[in-house]
């Protein structure tokens, strides 16, 4: 009796697994069982990556022993590069792949089992994705000067920070950044960063500039045209960046008060915009109310005076 119950439970588990394998193939089927769209998308992404990972392992396991030798692992890594159209990096990555095998062979068996390969695949997949971003943007991992294409974003800059350890100059005009990635830039490059151009880049505000100034004290050139910078951010730059010799604050809401704090040899470029007066909103509102009042007076016709009543004498006559 007990064995029959176990068999029944195993059949039910098997059926549930089969149903799940079918359901998880599409976003629509996941949403059909109550999953939110974002959760369904993430589950679909994970399932597809797991499927690709399993396929990569099985393709590389030429002797079907459920483990990869060093040579089988090397071929699997090169195949992944080929799929990502990065096979031109084969020569560059030979020593890297060798080192990866040593790191991921956790039990030092000389072979990589499916679990070890799965952990490596996720890590290498991220590596390949980042290098693909840099390759498409034509950014060299050894370049001293990095130029990001307009409209590129935080993902590309994060890839640059992880793979280029030598750049001292960054041009990121009209890019889509945020405070977190700017803080990461400051913390990673620190005093190695000498020139930065983030003109018209989104996400560059006083908080971001303060992080840059606090970590990047060797900056010599800083271009902030059309960024959301005020005196508050610029004062921090003046305090920490004593070697700054060129700054562009065109279209920034800064005043002569903060600019005067910069080093005497620092050339100021661009024309700042006039910061809004703290009383401006109050004055504008009062003016609008007065204008509305006058408009109401002009649009309302004057009252018609009442006609005088006739006297009783006039009525008799």
Q: What gap in Å lies between CA 310 and CA 86, rounded to an integer?
A: 105
Q: What gap in Å lies between CA 256 and CA 228, rounded to an integer?
A: 17
Q: What confidence category does residue 37 fall into, taking pLDDT thresholds of 50, 70 and 90? A: low
% of the chain exceeding 90 in pLDDT = 44
* 303-310 CB contacts, 8 Å cutoff, 24+ apart: none
Rg (the chain; Cα; Å):
34
Give the pLDDT of residue 175: 97
| pLDDT per position as a tens digit, 42-64 | 655 656 656 667 777 888 888 88
In the chain, ranges of CATH 3.80.10.10 domains: 145-269
Give the pLDDT of residue 23: 54
Sign of torsion over alpha carbons 114, 118, 119, 121: positive
Residue 73 has pLDDT above 80, yes or no: yes
Q: What confidence category does residue 315 fall into, taking pLDDT thresholds of 50, 70 and 90? A: very low
Q: Which fold has domain 145-269?
A: 3.80.10
Give the pLDDT of residue 284: 54
Give the pLDDT of residue 280: 46
Distances (CA, A) of 90 to 56, 81, 85, 143, 144: 18, 8, 11, 19, 23
Q: Cα 223 to the chain's mean position, in Å?
A: 20
Q: What gap in Å lies between CA 288 and CA 306, rounded to an integer?
A: 35
Give the pLDDT of residue 145: 97
Residue 282 has pLDDT above 70, yes or no: no
Residue 222 has pLDDT above 80, yes or no: yes
Domain spanning 14-136: CATH superfamily: EF-hand (1.10.238.10)
pTM for this entry: 0.65
In the chain, ranges of CATH 1.10.238.10 domains: 14-136
Q: Which residues contact 183 (CB under 8 A, 6 or more apart)?
A: 208, 211
Give the pLDDT of residue 83: 77
Mean pLDDT confidence for 108-116: 85
| pLDDT per position as a tens digit, 223-279 | 999 999 999 999 999 999 999 999 999 999 999 999 999 999 999 999 998 665 554
């Amino acid at each position: 009796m007990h064995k029959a119950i176990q068999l029944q439970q195993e059949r039910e588990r098997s059926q549930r697994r089969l149903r799940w394998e079918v359901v998880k193939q599409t976003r629509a089927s996941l949403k059909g069982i109550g999953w939110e769209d974002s959760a369904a998308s993430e589950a679909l992404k994970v399932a597809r990556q797991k499927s690709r990972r399993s396929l990569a392992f099985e393709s590389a396991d030429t002797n079907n022993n459920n483990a990869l030798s060093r040579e089988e692992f090397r071929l699997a890594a090169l195949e992944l590069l080929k799929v990502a159209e990065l096979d031109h990096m084969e020569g560059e990555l030979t020593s890297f792949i060798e080192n990866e095998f040593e790191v991921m062979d956790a039990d030092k068996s000389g072979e990589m089992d499916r679990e070890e390969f799965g952990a490596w695949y996720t890590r290498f997949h991220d590596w390949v994705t980042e290098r693909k971003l840099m390759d498409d943007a034509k950014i060299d991992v050894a370049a001293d000067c990095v130029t990001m294409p307009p409209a590129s974003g935080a993902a590309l800059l994060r890839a640059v920070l992880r793979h280029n350890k030598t750049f001292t100059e960054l041009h990121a005009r009209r890019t889509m950044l945020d405070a977190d990635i700017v803080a990461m830039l400051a913390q990673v490059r620190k005093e190695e960063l000498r020139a930065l151009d983030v003109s018209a880049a989104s996400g560059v505000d006083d908080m971001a500039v303060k992080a840059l100034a606090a970590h990047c004290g060797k900056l010599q050139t800083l271009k902030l045209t059309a960024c959301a910078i005020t005196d508050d951010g610029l004062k921090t730059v003046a305090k920490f960046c004593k070697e700054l010799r060129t700054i562009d604050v065109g279209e920034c809401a800064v005043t002569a008060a903060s600019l005067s704090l910069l080093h005497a040899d620092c050339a100021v470029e661009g024309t700042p915009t006039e910061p809004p007066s703290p009383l401006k909103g109050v004055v504008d509102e009062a003016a609008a109310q007065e204008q509305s009042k006058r408009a109401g007076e002009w649009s309302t016709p004057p009252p018609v005076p009442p006609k005088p009543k006739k006297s009783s004498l006039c009525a008799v006559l």
